[in-house]
A and B are shown apart, each in its own frame.
Chain A
Amino acid sequence: DTEVTQTPKHLVMGMTNKKSLKCEQHMGHRAMYWYKQKAKKPPELMFVYSYEKLSINESVPSRFSPECPNSSLLNLHLHALQPEDSALYLCASSQYSGQGDEQYFGPGTRLTVT
Chain B
Amino acid sequence: KNQVEQSPQSLIILEGKNCTLQCNYTVSPFSNLRWYKQDTGRGPVSLTIMTFSENTKSNGRYTATLDADTKQSSLHITASQLSDSASYICVVRLNTGGFKTIFGAGTRLFVKA
Binding site for B on A (CB under 8 A): 4, 31, 33, 40-45, 48, 55-56, 88, 90-92, 97, 99-100, 102-108, 110
Contact = CB atoms under 8 A, between A and B. Distances in A.
A103 B91 CA distance: 11
B31 A99 contact: yes
Given A55-B99, A102-B46, A110-B41, 5 more contacts: A42-B105, A43-B44, A88-B41, A100-B49, A105-B45
Contacts of B31: 99-100
Interface of B: 31-32, 34, 41-46, 49, 51, 89, 93, 95, 98-99, 101, 103-106, 108
Contact of B44 (A48, A100, A105, A110): A105
Given A88-B41, A105-B43, A100 B99 contact: no
B43 A42 contact: no
Contacts, number: 53
Q: Chain A: interface secondary structure?
A: strand
B112 to A, nearest CB: 20
A45 B43 contact: no
Contacts of A92: 43
Contacts of B32: 99-100
Contacts of A45: 99, 101
Q: Which 4 A-B pairs have the closest CB atoms?
A: A105-B43, A42-B103, A99-B31, A48-B99
26 contacts: A33-B99, A40-B105, A40-B106, A42-B89, A42-B105, A43-B103, A44-B103, A55-B98, A56-B98, A90-B43, A90-B44, A92-B43, A97-B98, A97-B99, A99-B31, A99-B93, A99-B95, A100-B31, A100-B49, A102-B46, A104-B46, A105-B43, A105-B44, A105-B45, A108-B42, A110-B41
Nearest to A97: B99
B104 A42 contact: yes
- Best-surrounded residue of A40, A44, A99, A104 (most CB of chain B within 10 A): A99
Nearest to B93: A99
Contacts of A88: 41
